[in-house]
Each structure stands twice: as structure tokens, then as C-alpha cells.
Amino acid sequence: MTKKLIDDFTYNLNLLGKLYPMPNLMEGYFNGQLSRWVENFKIINKYISKEDKILDVGTYPSYSLVAMKKMGYDIYGVDIDPSRENNFPEKEGVDLRKCDIETERMPFENKTFDKVILSEVFEHLYINPIFTFNEIKRVLKDNGHLIITTPNGYSIKRIYNFIIGNGASENPFDEFNKINTIGHRGHIREYSTKEIIDFIEKIGFICYKNYYVSLEHNGLKDKKIFKWIVRLIYIVFPIFRSNIIVVGEKK
């Protein structure tokens, strides 16, 4: 991947954030997630090309989706309620369709897409993830790739929170209450790499590749010593990094 491609993606993200701010997202969300979107794109772009027909599943907020469209990717999206973004992806020429991916059949024919991206969505699924993944498999072409990005259930942050008694995920009330504040549930469960691979293989995918992505934890910004300790652990033990990316190939 060229530096120009990363710079173009980052530029488009920043531009879209200024043009289409999301007032219902928590303050500072955009800047906090910017590095994650960029780091994920660096890996995702290894498996996609501008000749591929791509589906982004569960897009809100759709900055990454629209940034890729503006860069020339043939990308489509589905989301539970596109109207909560004031339909800005449509204004930017993106085909973003309304679909509750846990209960509704996706509005596409069988074997439509070369690649499917499920970015930061798996951890939100609550009703029937098996249904969702079977739908992804249905719309994906044979030998097509599914690219999953999700928080690491075994990250340093999760292990630390578990040890001090705060649970291994986010605050349950806050996460369930997001259905009322932003229109979908928050993190219901976070997974290990092994769990993700086992899940998709039972759906009918072969695990093609997996990555551990390290992002800064916001709580360590003012704790320089701990920040460097965590960085060292990330280097020596990548399995404890903050995020996971798994690439599966449809059998």
C-alpha cells in the first residue's frame, strides 16, 4: 500500500467528519476512532481492489464507507437505519440500504459480492449472529473474502478490567442503552481470535489470515510509563493487542 493511498483515505475521513458531524455520537468519538479506521484500512486494502464489488455490513457511522467510495471503490452498504445519518452517504453517491442484519434478508441476490467487510459489528450482534453470517455467505461469491474487524476480547484492557472486577467488556447498561441513544446496541460480547475462527468455519468459511492491531487506549494518554509498558507488551505478545482482524474465504 502506498503512503498516498493512506493519506487519501485519511483526508477523506477528515473531510467527511467536518461536512457531516453526528451530534448523537459521544463527544470526541470521531477523533478517537480515526486511527482505528486508518489502521483497519491498511489491512482491509490488502484484500480488496477497485475491480471488486464490495459490501460493507453495518456501516454506522459511515465515514469509512463513504471515504472508500470517494476513492473509487465499488462499495455498497447496509445499515439498520441510514436516516440517522441524515442520509449523507446517499448524498455522496453511495448505495446504502436499510436492513436489520440480525432479522432480515439482505436486499441483494446470491453471490453478488467479491468481498464483504464486517467492521466493528460482530461484538454488537445480539439476536442471531448465525443468521447474519449465513446471509453474508449467501451474498458473497464462491472463494470471496469476508473481512472481520472487532475488539480483542483478550486485550490488555479487557484482562485488566476483569482482574479489578469491572467485567471483561463495557458497562452493560450503557451498551444496551445505546439502542435508545444511537439506534443500535453497544458491545454485547467481545471475542478471541480462536472463537472468531471457530465461528466462521462452522458457517462455511476457511480462515485465510488473521492480524492483531494495536491502538492506543485513551485511558493511558496521561500515563506515560504505563503507555510504554503496554506498547512493549504489544510488541512481545501481539495476542494482547486491542483489535483483531480475521479474513475468511468462502468455501
Question: In this model, does residue 215 exceed pLDDT 60?
Answer: yes
Strand partners, 77: 56, 96
Confidence band, pLDDT 50/70/90 cuts, at residue 222: low
Structural domain containing residue 48: 3-151+188-250
Question: In this model, does residue 220 exceed pLDDT 60?
Answer: no
Q: Is residue 134 part of a domain?
A: yes
107 neighbors 139 (Cβ within 8 angstroms): no
Helix pair angle (29-44, 3-19), 10° resolution: 150
Q: Is residue 199 part of a domain?
A: yes
Q: Is residue 182 part of a domain?
A: no
pLDDT score recorded for residue 219 = 58
Return the sign of the alpha-carbon dihedral for residues 214, 220, 222, 223: negative
CA 228 remoteness from chain centre: 26
CATH no. for residue 121?
3.40.50.150
Q: Is residue 162 part of a domain?
A: no
Q: Is residue 30 part of a domain?
A: yes
**Number of domains composing the chain:** 1
Task: Give the mean model confidence (pLDDT) for residues 195-209.
Answer: 96
136 neighbors 36 (Cβ within 8 angstroms): no
Q: Omega of the bond prior to 107 within 30 degrees of 0, cis?
A: no
The pLDDT tens digits for 8-33 are: 999 999 999 999 998 778 778 888 88
